[in-house]
Amino acid sequence: MRILVTGANGQLGSDLVAILEKSGHDVLGTDRMELNITNQEICDKVITEHKPEVILHTAAYTAVDQAEEDVEAAYLVNAVGTRNVAVAAEKVGSRLCYISTDYVFDGIATKPYHEYDNTDPKSIYGKSKRAGEVLTMSLCKRSYVVRTSWVYGQNGQNFVKTMLKLGRERDVLKVVNDQVGSPTYTNDLCCFLADLIQTERFGIYHATNQGECSWYEFARAIFDEAGISVRLEPCTTDEFPRPAPRPSYSVLSSLAIRTNGFRELRNWREAVSEFISNNSN
C-alpha cells in the first residue's frame, strides 16, 4: 500500500514510518520542509504527485502551554493545516487518518469517555485539535479520527524518558497524583493504525493502552520497572500551575475498537515494562 505520513520526524510519525516500511508498505515520510501543511498549494502539489492510498496525518502543534498565547499558530497548524491535507486527500481519493487527543474532552468525567460522547475542550490546544477533527470528517469522506493520550516512544521527549533521567539524577521527586489517564506506547498505537488503515471502517476511534493511572502511579511503575530507587512524593495540580488547563480525568474507552472487531491495545503496565526493558541501556 502507498502511504504518506505527515510529521514523520515526530515521536509517533517516526515509529509509524519504520513499522509500516517493515510491513512492506511503500511509505513516504514527510516533515515540515518537505510538506508544509499550512501552505495549501504545497499540500495539493505533494499529495497530487504521490497519490497515496492512505495519508496518516500526525503533524501537529503540540506545545500545550505555549498554545494559550500563540493561538493563531496552534490553529494554523491543527485546523488550517489539517483542512489543507483533507482537501488534497479528497481530491486524489486518499483515505485520511487524523491523530487527535484526549484534550478534546473537558476532563471532568468519572468514567472513561467513549467516541460518541460530546466534546468540550478547555485549552487552545484541545480546541484546535477538535477543529482538525471536524475539518477532517467534513472534507474527506474516507476518514478516520484516532484519539490517543499520554504517548511515549523511542523518539523525541516524553514522560517516561524524563522520569528515567530525573530518577537517576535526584533523590526525591514530586509528581502530580490528581490527573488520571491512560499511557500509550507508540509501538502499540502504530500496530493498531496499520490494521485500521487497511479497512474501510471509517469513523472515530479511541486508541490507548488499556487501564488507567495517575501521573504519580505512572512514574512509580517506571521506576519499579527500571529498578531505580528514588523517593516519589504525590502532589496536586495546584502545586504546579501551568498556563493551559489539564484534564483531571481523561481516560478513553475503546468502544469503537471493540464494536468494529479490532483487538484492543494491551494493558499500559505491560507496555511500559517492554519499553523499559528495550531501553535499559
Q: What is the pLDDT of residues 118-148, one digit of tens each?
A: 999 999 999 999 999 999 999 999 999 999 9
Residues 6 or more apart whose CB falls under 8 angstroms from that of 66 comprise 243
Residue reference for cell 460522547: 117
CATH architecture classification, 2-158+183-211+250-265:
3-Layer(aba) Sandwich (3.40)
Residues of the chain with pLDDT > 70, as a percent, come to 99
| β-strand pairing of 203-206 with 143-148 | parallel
Inform me whether the pLDDT recorded for 281 exceeds 70. Answer: no
- Each residue of 128-165: b (16+ CB within 10 Å) or e? bbbbbbebbbebbeebbbbbbbbbbbbebebbbbebbe
Domain ranges of the chain: 2-158+183-211+250-265
Q: How many Å apart are CA 181 and CA 184, to the nearest integer?
A: 10
The DSSP-derived string for 90-140 is HHHT-EEEEEEEGGGS-SB-SSPBPTTSPP---SHHHHHHHHHHHHHHHH-
Q: Which position among 113, 125, 185, 249 bears the catalytic label? A: 125
The pLDDT value recorded for residue 225 is 95
Q: How many Å apart are CA 231 and CA 175, to the nearest integer?
A: 11
The pLDDT value recorded for residue 280 is 63
Inform me whether the pLDDT recorded for 156 exceeds 90. Answer: no
pLDDT tens digits, one per residue of 171-230 = 999 999 999 999 999 999 999 999 999 999 999 999 999 999 999 999 999 999 999 999
Environment class of 203 (CB within 10 Å of its CB; exposed 0-12, middle 13-18, buried 19+)? middle
The answer to whether residue 75 is catalytic is no
The pLDDT value recorded for residue 34 is 92
Q: How far is CA 162 from CA 158, 206, 230, in A?
A: 6, 25, 14
89, 55 Cβ separation under 8 angstroms = yes
Inform me whether the pLDDT recorded for 90 exceeds 90. Answer: yes
Q: How many Å apart are CA 221 and CA 224, to the nearest integer?
A: 5
124, 96 Cβ separation under 8 angstroms = no
pLDDT tens digits, one per residue of 217-276 = 999 999 999 999 999 999 999 998 899 999 999 999 999 999 999 999 999 999 999 999
The pLDDT value recorded for residue 278 is 87
The angle formed by the CA atoms of residues 57, 63 and 69, to the nearest 5 degrees, is 125
The pLDDT value recorded for residue 228 is 92
Residues 6 or more apart whose CB falls under 8 angstroms from that of 39 comprise 84
52, 94 Cβ separation under 8 angstroms = yes
